[in-house]
Structure 1
């Protein structure tokens, strides 16, 4: 028997795409009647709770710009900012205009129907910034230093959120070929293999940024340079998102926008983020580091 047919069959077997349905994943943990406890909701909850837990550890280290009661306030207001900002951002950036989805602003009742999906990272980011500004102003805290501490905790939620997208079999990647051994066929994306871009995002925006930010906080004196951790986070997230968008399938309602402009909506929105992050990094490095987490005049007083 010739070895050539066997070799060809073996090669075809190696490059057979992975079928998402064969992973037997469910988008909910359990179901009672019409109620489903979805992994997507649990991902948001896990990210927020883990971020809050880590923030309480961070503020016990020298140089903390806030107390525990401020962390408790941030936990509440940032949760609101994530949910409301993410939903309103989706309505603004991904519905109406040139998209195929009617604007949610014309149907306000749909804004509260979170179970239908639709959250914007950039909208959630704006919501969190507003929450930070409110808590900082209300308690007389240094906004930039508070933002530094929150920036360390955000990647937890981003990793869980992208993993939940994969479990849901949504937000898949672009079509690829058999040269990508981990290419997957998603049930609602047609018969062609695609990049599992949700896992790329979980790795770059989540796991990689978790490692970078934790090392930056616990192994360096970055927390004594106001704005440095915010800048690194912003640049890192922006670059990760820009790269992943080359493999992520553009939102169906914005596919034409991506073809006409050469970049997806997500990539256009990350460009100013990267520029802003670089500004904060350079600004932090050009200024002298704080001696104890507070300005020298305050420490002396």
Structure 2
């Protein structure tokens, strides 16, 4: 810690390895429990716990048994969607990496890394659609409740990226005293710790916004408003942070040719859909003209 304070007080960059971080939370022989895996687990469990609290508030569109089903199917959707999204958007074609679709064994090797937020989001939406259809629930209202819980996982996931020393930012100028040198980053240059930027904006800030909207306003009585706010806020945060995040090596040429990174292009439809449903939710009357809707039985 003293070395970090001295580095911040001088013009010397901070060296990530001086933080003494390890990607493994626990190592027993050849078995290693990684922080990244725990981040996914913590986000899912905390989201499930908070969803169980939310449905006890007046007007919930689902019951506890639906929350239990969502816990299972959303977990499947996050993992499969995230992995398949990475295989689709970040490997094969002109990316410079062999396509994971052509190698089913590597596709299943989750411990080797490679997850896409947008793929995980698609998987979650499909999981919610399935549970809503099976239970005769309002898909849009269930998505509102799920959206409030998603930022927990975003916060933990980005912090785990930082602990892993991966997904570092672009080279920073001398006016960034918190710039860091990551051991695997090319050039040995000080870079933006963009993982922490994402944890702050996609995680902590959205947690505050979504919790305040759910618990302190009547947003949950306007179907689609909470889910749309998350979609727009998440897209906007990701679009901004991508200016400081180093594009994946296999997609650097794509970013140079198009002017935007793959992550930024993928957030454009997310923001557009979010903005559309925000307007839609606000121009339509609230449920029951202000009267609480009955809870799911």
Does the alignment pair 1:287 with 2:297?
no
**Structure 2 match to 1:54:** 50
**Structure 1 match to 2:242:** 245
Query: For residues 18-57 of structure 1, what are the structure 2 equivalents within 5 Å?
Result: 18-57=14-53
Query: For residues 245-284 of structure 1, what are the structure 2 equivalents within 5 Å?
Result: 245-284=242-281
User: Do the aligned partners of 1:15 and 1:179 also contact (CA within 8 Å) in 2?
Assistant: no
Report which of the two structures shows the higher radius of gyration computed on alpha carbons.
Answer: 1
Matched residues in 1 for 2:293 and 2:216: separation?
20
Matched residues in 2 for 1:294 and 1:221: separation?
12
RMSD of the alignment, in Å?
1.6
Matched residues in 1 for 2:250 and 2:190: separation?
21
**Structure 2 match to 1:75:** 71
Matched residues in 2 for 1:172 and 1:117: separation?
15
Which residue of 110, 128, 145 maps to 1:132?
Answer: 128
| TM-score under structure 1 length normalisation | 0.93
SS, match of residue 119 in structure 1: coil
SS, match of residue 188 in structure 2: coil
Which residue of 85, 89, 92 maps to 1:93?
Answer: 89
Matched residues in 2 for 1:85 and 1:285: separation?
31
Query: What count of residue pairs does the alignment treat as equivalent?
Result: 288
Gaps of 5+ in 2: 1-5
| TM-score under structure 2 length normalisation | 0.94
Which residue of 177, 183, 197 maps to 1:181?
Answer: 177
SS, match of residue 79 in structure 1: helix
Inter-CA distance 69–12: structure 2 relative to 1 (3 Å threshold):
closer
Deviating beyond 2 angstroms after TM superposition, the runs of 4 or more aligned structure 1 residues are 10-13, 291-295
Cα deviation for residue 124 of structure 1 reads: 0.1
Matched residues in 2 for 1:178 and 1:184: separation?
11
Does the alignment pair 1:117 with 2:109?
no
User: Do the aligned partners of 1:16 and 1:178 also contact (CA within 8 Å) in 2?
Assistant: no
Matched residues in 2 for 1:53 and 1:12: separation?
39
